[in-house]
Amino acid sequence: MDAADVGWLQRSSEAGEPGDALLLRLAGSPDPGVAFAALTLGLGRSEDAQAVRAVRAAIPASPRARALLSGRAPDGTIPLHAYAKWQGPHWTLVQLAILGYPPGDPALLPIREQVLAWLLGRQHAKPPATVVLVDQPDRVRRCASQEGNAIWAAVRLGLEDERTTRLVERLIAWQWPDGGWNCDRRPGARGSSFQETAIPLRALWAYGTKHRHPDAIAAGERAAALLLDRPLLWRRSAWTLIRPDWGGAVDRIHFPIQFYDVLFALQVMAETGHLDDPRCADALDLLRSKRLRDGGFPREDRTAVRSARVASRGTWADWGPAGARTSNPFVSAAALGVLRIAGHPPPDGRSSGQGTCQRIP
């Protein structure tokens, strides 16, 4: 963090902006993952800034990154099913991407190959993984969050190749008429699932902006329109919170495994340039209501529990404090960043690589 950033935060703190003192402290944390999140998500610094690059370069040697990769075999693979929750290859790459692990590490290629072999395998395109009902060919039943997270992690970790493009093209082809995706195999399911839509939206936007893929951006716009039409968290008919069958309550903050909740929905809106839509206002108010006395935000639902051995819904890494009354550094950086984008421009007009993306002209 350079002098300009320190000065900006100090001026904000003096003006009484809640959370800025916390953000300043997190940005100077000796934990590079926390510092990177504070600098990029919270403060809006560009990932290409020299100071930020130095912080990011230290992440692979950090205890959290080393823990996430501790389950590897000598050949670099993780000897678990690709989707094993939450320690398999797929979720390992997703959590490394959340952590800000620097792109282009060849040591991650064996794990990437496991994920792509699973997603592009013949069995994955057949029932029960993929279902096409005869009378609803335009509603392919797929857990599109799987392709979505794989694409997003590949983009963030610099692991894309032509097979990533194939996953992008599949998501576009599988998009439902209303703009989203759904894995519900019941014939009566004719509307998209928000849990299966937010992650693909994030992925298509990340891929589309980086690789100038207009079809990916267009599909992302349709998905964003679906989420905003609710708006984000509420049923249109009765103005009550949507109640998903799985994935947890949408009015609670989930971390590190995120499918759909108030913070994640707003993060996706920020990353895709839709946070200024008036229909985000109620979700923003809900997020603001969760601010704690220290200015931070809680990890309300601990969606993965640290485990030193393979365990159902376990994670190798410690992702920090959990509970409604304790702020979590990663959640705080993300939430403060969302509120910064919603109410304040980045310092000196700069943008982080994880914040609002510019549309392709």
CA distance 165 to 168: 5
CA distance 182 to 186: 10
Query: What would the mean pLDDT of 313-325 be, rounded to a whole number?
Result: 94
- Among the listed ranges 117-121, 277-281, 302-306, which one has the minimum average pLDDT value? 302-306
Task: Quote the pLDDT of residue 245.
Answer: 78
Q: What is the DSSP letter of 178?
A: T
pLDDT digits (tens, 9 = 90+) for 100-133: 999 999 999 999 999 999 999 988 888 888 888 8
pLDDT digits (tens, 9 = 90+) for 193-222: 889 999 999 999 999 999 999 999 999 999
Query: What would the mean pLDDT of 57-77 be, rounded to a whole number?
Result: 98
Q: What percentage of the chain carries pLDDT values higher than 90?
A: 71
What residue has token string 């009550």? 240
The pLDDT of residue 43 is above 80: yes
Q: What CATH number does the domain located at 3-349 have?
A: 1.50.10
Non-local CB neighbours of 95 within 8 Å, separated by 6+ positions: 68, 86, 256, 315, 317
Query: What would the mean pLDDT of 144-163 be, rounded to a whole number?
Result: 97
pLDDT digits (tens, 9 = 90+) for 227-265: 999 899 988 776 788 887 777 889 999 999 999 999 999
- Among the listed ranges 52-56, 66-70, 241-245, 332-336, which one has the minimum average pLDDT value? 241-245
Task: Quote the pLDDT of residue 324.
Answer: 93
Q: What is the DSSP letter of 121?
A: S
